[in-house]
Amino acid sequence: MDKIVASSAAAVADVVDGSSVAIAGFGLSHRFPSSLIVALAERGSKDLTVYCNGLGQPGFPTAHLLAENHQLSRLVASFSARPGVRESEAEEQMKRGELAFEIVPQGILVERMRAGGAGLAAFYSPVGYGTPIAEGKEIREFNGKPFVLEQAITADFAFVRAYRGDRLGNLQMRGGSKNFNVSFAKAATVAIAEVEEIVEPGEIPPDLVDLPGAFVHRVVLATHTMDTKTLPKRPARDAKSARTYFDKEACTRNEIAQRAALLLEEHSYVNLGAGIPNLIANYLEGRDVVLHAENGVLGYGPYAEGDEFDPDLHDAGGGFVTPRPGMSLFESVTSFEIARSGRLSVVVLGAYQVASNGDFANWATPEMAGGGVGGAMDLAVGARSVMITMEHCDSKGRPKLVGSCTYPLTAVGVVDTVVTDLAVLKRDDGVFRLLEVARGFTVEEIRSVTELAFEPARQVGFMQDAFTS
């Protein structure tokens, strides 16, 4: 049995017009099967349905290349748009009605793939209830809780990337780069793997085989790689920057993260969302707080500095991180099993809006074509506590703490803590209480830029006192 194929062009030669293709790869640029994508772009097959986390960075050999070539007719993904990233060709095609789009929460996407690969037709999930994701889907109650029926996904082809592969199709992945590769390959009629190295059977130790050859049909040597030193990353504002309210400077983004870090309890498992939440990792030195990332990492440390980083060790926001003793690495199905099953003590996310009843919205605005739900819905529905870190008002000066959300909901009634650049609020018995304000600001000033209903604590403290004392 020999599954080695001579070239990427030969590997994708039977991907015809109208095919469905599941394409692995994480974030904007991490470990996309670029050789297979380039080969499919050169082949020119049209009317494709693509399943992916997101199409990736425009202008690079990511899945977005297929959109630029106008080869897609349908996209099923967790991201069609990302905050701070320029509008892409795919988004423009969506606005023109040329590209159909179905947004799927990241954990549900891999679970639908896992179900398809396991020969299952559907499953019930608590994710997305009360949000636009659940519209038109069957809802059933189990043990008094609502669950949404989700259909399994299968694909004609899967494009995956691995570290090493052998002639039998066994694949070894490296570090935190397993993510979607396993579930996507299992769901495909034909799984095609591009690998950095082809080895003989037996050279991959049996306990290091991440995907057995029974799930893999073709193996080809990668010919396109992306320079890890210049990988495009999610754009981020300067962490030392601060907004001005009432002609006074509020807390910096670093200070928001630092204050939030001090609210995390010892002996806890915590997931950090992209943006300000990611900065919390830099303020946990010496703490017994274990960090979890949706791409399949548990127990990582602060951001890596300079060029000294492992390209296969990154968080869900795409930032390269450092290892800690006891760290474990796995694929995304396992990662979301941790998230949805109540193992996470706290999930810290950013948001566009938080409402008085604990609803929040963080994946779409009216200007976006589609949106970027990522793993937030899975995380919010499973965590024991949900903390939001964000700036108090948006870039146009509009309150982000609102009476009720006007943007599409991420989860219903789950937020219990909010840390902004102006305030710390905790929700108790259905009421938000203002515990702290940024130094130099008054309760009355906070109330004037807050639509969300809150009650001040008997004694309102200053945020900065928590980390300067």
Q: Which residues are catalytic?
A: 294
Tokens of 69: 């070539």
- Is residue 122 within 8 A of residue 151, CB to CB? The reply is yes
> How deeply is 302 buried, as exposed, middle or buried, from its count of CB atoms within 10 A (0-12, 13-18, 19+)?
middle
Spatial contact of 348 and 260, defined as CB atoms under 8 Å apart: yes
The answer to whether the beta carbons of residues 410 and 131 sit under 8 Å apart is yes
Residue with tokens 């949404």: 148
The amino acid that residue 59 corresponds to is G
By C-alpha distance, which of 107, 55, 93, 101 is closest to 76?
A: 101
Cα(393)–Cα(383) distance, integer angstroms: 26
Question: Cβ(41)–Cβ(12) under 8 Å?
Answer: no
Shortest CA distance to 157 belongs to which of 108, 90, 106, 218?
218
Q: Which tokens go with 1?
A: 């049995």
Residue 168 one-letter amino acid = L
Which residues partner with 49 through β-bridges?
20, 74
Residue 61's SS3 state is coil
* Tokens 């020999």 sit on residue: 2
- SS3 at position 214: helix
CA atoms within 13 A on the CB side of 382: 23
Q: Is 467 helix (H, G, I), strand (E, B) or coil?
A: helix
Residue 153 contacts residue 51 (beta carbons within 8 Å)? yes
DSSP string covering 455-466: EEEEEEEETTHH
Q: How far apart are CA 295 and CA 26, in angstroms?
A: 8
Which tokens is 43 given? 């082949």
The Cα–Cα gap between 79 and 101 comes to: 10
Closest listed residue to residue 61, CA positions, set 227, 234, 173, 236: 227
DSSP for 351-396, written as a single string? -SEEETTS-EE-S--TTSSS-B-TTHHHHHHH-S-EEEE--SB-TT
